[in-house]
Amino acid sequence: MGSGRILIVEDEAGQRSLLETLLTGRGFDVETAAGVSEATAILDREPPDLLLTDYNMDDGNGIDVLRKARAVDASLGVVLITAYGTVPMAVEAMREGAVDVMLKPVDPDALLEVIGRAIRLRALRAENAQLRVRLHEQYSSSGVVAQSKDMQALLQTALRIAPTKASVLITGESGTGKELIANLLHEEGASPAGPFVATHCAALPESLLESELFGHAKGSFTGAVADRKGRFEEAEGGTLFLDEIGEIPPAVQVRLLRVLQEREIVRVGENQPRSIQVRLVAATNRDLEAEVAASRFREDLFYRINVVHLHVPPLRERKDDMAALIAAFTQECAEREDLAPLAFSQEALDVLQRHAWPGNVRELRNVVERALLLAPGSEVEAADLPASVRGGGDTTPDGLEAAVSALEQRMIREALEEAGGVQTRAAALLGIAERVLRYKMKKHGISRPGG
């Protein structure tokens, strides 16, 4: 049944012998120590796959052994056994990284179950660590995970065109990681030491968008109290990433096209052009060809930014990347929150694989982090995942989109009513740009308050 090497640390010879007989009889390779000092010597020589230690011993206690074991190998599973368990002691042991705390006399079946879980957890951690090493070797600077064929093909194309000066358009649903691809293009490009400047076009009010992109002169408009560089100048010698470029209004599209054609910008309120050397990478979750056909996006600008097109597939079409993404997010969260790294049970992994992921990689990251922070045990179980992921609600893309659409329509109507039908005020109440409000009103067929 068993496989792996277990170190038993127990100062009572009879108890030590009983545990050794039980575990060797189940196929484990067992080594024993009669106290803390003897266990320390064994750990220094050859760490086991699992440590089973008593708490009270003549030359120390199980927490001492636990700390030594974790210092030697942070992935080593430790089970603490005690005849005098207290809540503070158990809490301290779990904080130090113990897999479990068990009371004497130990039930053999319960012990074997804990040991099996601990060894599986160690194997999963080792597999995750190896996976992270491979990912680091391949894409250490970008953080892009690519195990699926579609993502590998995407990255191969990205790496081929990264050293060029060609403009790139990255498309894909929200949350798929378009900015990571843009970062990869920059870091593998001709000027990786230059700045990478990211700008979310939809987050900027139309009245400020020109100033944000191209800069302005002092006094050019109310509030312009000093000369200011725009995003193009900030990105000089590097890469400018324009996210949601489909939200740029027509007047700014004209200026952007001229910048890309002439390789120079003119600040708002000035006449003097300034030469720039910037690589442009744009992204959108909209169908720009359809926007061109509807005369909402300039055709000449579309062709200027779409020299190379990279499409990031949604997570539901790249399930082969799931294990690698989960491993990466697990490690990231553990390091940031100073937590012992946890593994996901096979049942939890199966649940994650079945979910539709309408929020894509961003949703997966949030689910993984939530599970790690809230999981009560040493392994994330399916029950630790949100009900929406386990299947406790409509998680299909269509179902989510319908719910979001209904909520969006209600919020827009309420804001318009509160603003007396004034779209500028309604947009301010919603915290969005007025042009975004107009777009959403047209999308939902809302023409007036209560309409």
Give residue 395's pLDDT. 41
308 and 323 part of one domain: no
357 and 306 part of one domain: no
Give residue 287's pLDDT. 92
262 and 364 part of one domain: no
User: For residue 44, is it within any domain?
Assistant: yes
374 and 406 part of one domain: no
Measured at the CA of 236, the angle between CA 234 and CA 239, to 5 degrees, comes to: 90
Cβ(395)–Cβ(354) below 8 Å: no
CB half-sphere exposure, 10, CA atoms < 13 A: 23
Number of independent structural domains in the chain:
4
252 and 361 part of one domain: no
210 and 98 part of one domain: no
What's the CA gap between 267 and 245, in Å, rounded?
Answer: 20
Question: 273: phi > 0 → left, psi -120 to 50 → alpha, else beta; which?
Answer: beta
3-state secondary structure of 5: strand
130 and 158 part of one domain: no
User: For residue 450, is it within any domain?
Assistant: no
3-state secondary structure of 265: strand
Give residue 424's pLDDT. 84
Give residue 403's pLDDT. 62
182 and 157 part of one domain: yes
Structure tokens at 203: 């987050």
List the beta bridge partners of residue 216: 228, 268
Q: What is the extent of the structural domain holding 254?
A: 149-312
CATH number (domain holding residue 407): 1.10.10.60
User: For residue 320, is it within any domain?
Assistant: yes
Give residue 365's pLDDT. 92
Domain boundary among the residues 365, 390, 415 is at 390
Give whole-number Cα distances, 26 to 22, 44, 77, 105, in Å: 7, 26, 18, 19
CATH number (domain holding residue 344): 1.10.8.60
What's the CA gap between 251 and 319, in Å, rounded?
Answer: 41
- What is this structure's pTM? 0.59
279 and 361 part of one domain: no
3-state secondary structure of 193: coil
Series of mean pLDDT values for 10-residue runs along the chain (451 residues): 81 90 90 91 89 89 89 85 80 82 88 86 68 48 75 89 93 93 91 92 83 89 85 94 93 93 91 93 94 94 95 93 89 82 88 92 92 83 90 50 70 83 82 73 71 47
Domain boundary among the residues 81, 101, 134 is at 134
What's the CA gap between 321 and 318, in Å, rounded?
Answer: 6
Reference 179, options 260, 132, 242; nearest CA is 242
User: For residue 177, is it within any domain?
Assistant: yes
411 and 427 part of one domain: yes
Give residue 449's pLDDT. 58
Question: 97: phi > 0 → left, psi -120 to 50 → alpha, else beta; which?
Answer: left
Angle of helix 434-444 relative to helix 397-418, nearest 10 degrees? Answer: 120
Q: pLDDT digit string (tens) for 384-420?
A: 899 889 875 444 444 555 666 777 787 888 888 888 8
Give residue 451's pLDDT. 47
Alpha helices (H) in 177-226, listed in sequence order: 178-187, 206-214
Give residue 96's pLDDT. 82
Domain boundary among the residues 286, 312, 338 is at 312
User: For residue 217, is it within any domain?
Assistant: yes
User: For residue 248, is it within any domain?
Assistant: yes
CATH number (domain holding residue 164): 3.40.50.300
Phi, psi of 180 (to 5 degrees): -60, -40
Cβ(167)–Cβ(307) below 8 Å: yes
CA 450 to chain centroid? 40
What's the CA gap between 422 and 420, in Å, rounded?
Answer: 6
167 and 299 part of one domain: yes
Dihedral of alpha carbons 108, 113, 114, 115, sign: positive
Give residue 392's pLDDT. 54
Amino acid at 449: P
23 and 97 part of one domain: yes
CB atoms within 10 A of CB 46: 10
Dihedral of alpha carbons 32, 33, 36, 38, sign: negative
User: For residue 73, is it within any domain?
Assistant: yes
User: For residue 414, is it within any domain?
Assistant: yes
What's the CA gap between 166 and 129, in Å, rounded?
Answer: 36
